[in-house]
Structure 1
């Protein structure tokens, strides 16, 4: 059903496979998806006329709001065929449930198997998972299944607990760790505080999930530099979402995450849902291929990226995505300056005194954006506050409000109602962009 070798085929062969799978997907949706049956009927669309990748432009897009409002209308199989229920993290609103069949779980496994191969993994590796497998978290089960398909060793430690992570590294000698980059920084800080020799560990590679470690041009950002500067390991960037059930993972070249062409059709769209010009930033929009439970057609993720079409040194002929520039609805306009949260995060990571932070967005009495940065430092002081403000001004040209917070206060803000993933951004604006 799937072949990892398709990435090394010619662009003509890749396109032919995608169009064949797209036609199968359209027919499947027309026969089984209540949401897309309504969409085709309402818009007078004949499914048989959608044959090429360009034909996708004849179709309306699907949004996160559609999923939230009509979650179960996307279900395309009887509930008796559902093998597992997972949920999105709800970063941009209420979480949505995604139902997977046994075939979907096999597809998810294949997806990560390809990702691990792209990252240079093999059955000789031992992987240490530093993330949760519970709380309806798709990534945890995806990595677990992919490692199983790869035939490599695996130790499940879960998130947090730096001492336990290092003790497990010492006992098991993993070669690859999978974690959120900001947690890797905490491991580095723990090692530095406890005289742990990072260079002496068995770890050779870290697969970084959930947060960007690179700029658009592939250079490590400050978060990536903080890790790499203290831990001599290879950092591999990934990009994925629960809804797409697929990952874009870097190869050894480290120049963007590769599309798995037999699992997704990729578009980058502008505000009018038209394809952006080559090399321009656009909203990542995906059509799933081979999904049974809840297939998606032209689903706008909200993430802004650029597409890289130049040949890759690894020999794969699939398009690549840069790191996420920002999220469509998270764009900030502060005192006439427009930027995305990752630009602010990058600046905060450059300030050595800041050990943790949360960015809060609000709408002020004049209806414009207000940005409050809650930071934790070991020794708060007015001179330090002034230093950080001036640094923010020099890098962003504007200065958000700065508030010192305790570690406990930040933890409460980052994990509201016992959430499973730390929230660096709290968007409380009345109107999002």
Structure 2
């Protein structure tokens, strides 16, 4: 099995032609099997025979999360008896959406993760500890397991949380890689230091980081990864994926963005008017899935604002790469004339060692303007510290949010909600 697919080393022209061929097959499949897209083609007088090139995609309207929520059932292209797994989106923005996967979809998912993990250097025979949930209708955990199995790695399915058990497992099974939310690595380091564990000499070489950004836009380490690496010298690899895409963008050893897998997905980056942005500009990632049987998506707007990078990578792949997600379109905040996204605020809060946990709450005030409230739990009550945090916000983002100090026992219950896959550090009440 080839985990460095030939198409990814082909020329950009060959990749484009390859994708156009796949696109025509997808359009024919949708016209025949998808109630949602059949109706969309009919209502917009779209003759799929006229969609020949990637540029022709512009003739087709985009699909939104709202469409998926409203017409979830109409997106299914197969009958219920062909579905072998039900997953749901995490529902960060509204109701979760149900995704069914066929046998072939699970095979595609395994292939996607295998070539993604191969990007990050994982090989056959490596031991990999999964610090992520594999249940609760969570697609990613299952995808990681299937991908690692496909490439011949050994998996330790630990699940999230409980540093003590994670370390027990690391010393027992000697994993080379961890798959985890990066902020949890700080908890593991903290536990190891408090309990005198020799973590710096463990078997761990690297971690594939999910759910949180570890890089700045210029690919330097952000505050979170700097804090991890200061204590524990391991490699950190970014990966970006979503249930809707069933595809991941993972960094290779050169760590200059997550590589695109052209055999699995067509990407467009669009501005607010729906036009493709100029090279070097950021916009909303819009995707068309290839080879998905149950719920294929055509020109689906992910809601994630990203920037693409096209210069060749030293690893030999000629595929486009995605930089870290700048923010989610719906989470954009207009605050006193400044446009902000939550990740920029996370970076500032992660900079402080004595913040135990935090939550950013956005609400509209009585005159309809966005208001930011930062809830913090800190090690010791300290008026100066709150001012220091506020000054940091002013210096870095030119905004001065309202700051509330809350007891750790109270705040941690809402941040680390057992029903959520990631820490809930952002709440939008607008």
Shorter chain as denominator, the TM-score bin is: over 0.9
Structure 2 Cα separation of the partners of residues 28 and 2 of structure 1: 27
Structure 1 Cα separation of the partners of residues 395 and 354 of structure 2: 17
Asked if 2 retains the 8 angstrom alpha-carbon contact of 1:118 and 1:249, the reply is yes
Deviation at 1:416, TM superposition (A): 5.3
Asked if 1 retains the 8 angstrom alpha-carbon contact of 2:64 and 2:300, the reply is yes
Q: Counterparts of 1:32-431 in structure 2 under 5 Å?
A: 32-415=33-416, 418-429=419-430
Structure 2 Cα separation of the partners of residues 2 and 34 of structure 1: 36
Q: Which region of structure 1 is more displaced relative to structure 2, 71-80 or 7-16?
A: 7-16
Which stretches of structure 1, 4 residues or longer, exceed 4 Å deviation after superposition?
none
Deviation at 1:410, TM superposition (A): 2.2
1:256-284 CA-partner distances (Å, limit 9, x unpaired): 00001000000000001110000100100
Give the 3-state SS of the residue equivalent to 2:231 in structure 1.
coil
Give the 3-state SS of the residue equivalent to 1:66 in structure 2.
helix
Q: What TM-score, normalized by structure 1, do the two folds share?
A: 0.97
Structure 2 Cα separation of the partners of residues 182 and 163 of structure 1: 16
Structure 2 Cα separation of the partners of residues 372 and 27 of structure 1: 49
Q: Which region of structure 1 is more displaced relative to structure 2, 372-381 or 410-419?
A: 410-419
Asked if 1 retains the 8 angstrom alpha-carbon contact of 2:356 and 2:408, the reply is no
Give the 3-state SS of the residue equivalent to 1:418 in structure 2.
coil
1:396-416 CA-partner distances (Å, limit 9, x unpaired): 111111111223322332255
Structure 2 Cα separation of the partners of residues 282 and 142 of structure 1: 27
Asked if 2 retains the 8 angstrom alpha-carbon contact of 1:266 and 1:286, the reply is yes
Asked if 2 retains the 8 angstrom alpha-carbon contact of 1:89 and 1:421, the reply is no
Q: Find the counterpart in structure 2 of residue 22 from structure 1.
A: 23
Structure 2 Cα separation of the partners of residues 298 and 192 of structure 1: 48
Deviation at 1:375, TM superposition (A): 1.1
Deviation at 1:417, TM superposition (A): 7.8
Unaligned segments of structure 1, at least 5 residues: none
Asked if 2 retains the 8 angstrom alpha-carbon contact of 1:305 and 1:321, the reply is yes
RMSD of equivalent CA atoms: 1.3
Structure 1 Cα separation of the partners of residues 336 and 380 of structure 2: 30
Structure 2 Cα separation of the partners of residues 335 and 380 of structure 1: 29
Give the 3-state SS of the residue equivalent to 1:306 in structure 2.
strand
Q: Which region of structure 1 is more displaced relative to structure 2, 7-16 or 317-326?
A: 7-16
Deviation at 1:395, TM superposition (A): 1.4
1:363-409 CA-partner distances (Å, limit 9, x unpaired): 10010001111111111221221222122211111111111122332
Asked if 2 retains the 8 angstrom alpha-carbon contact of 1:86 and 1:99, the reply is yes
Deviation at 1:2, TM superposition (A): 9.0
Structure 2 Cα separation of the partners of residues 417 and 183 of structure 1: 15
Unaligned segments of structure 2, at least 5 residues: none
Give the 3-state SS of the residue equivalent to 1:139 in structure 2.
helix
Deviation at 1:318, TM superposition (A): 0.5
Asked if 2 retains the 8 angstrom alpha-carbon contact of 1:358 and 1:374, the reply is yes
1:42-98 CA-partner distances (Å, limit 9, x unpaired): 000011111110010000000000000000100000111011000000111111011
Deviation at 1:39, TM superposition (A): 0.3
Q: What TM-score, normalized by structure 2, do the two folds share?
A: 0.98
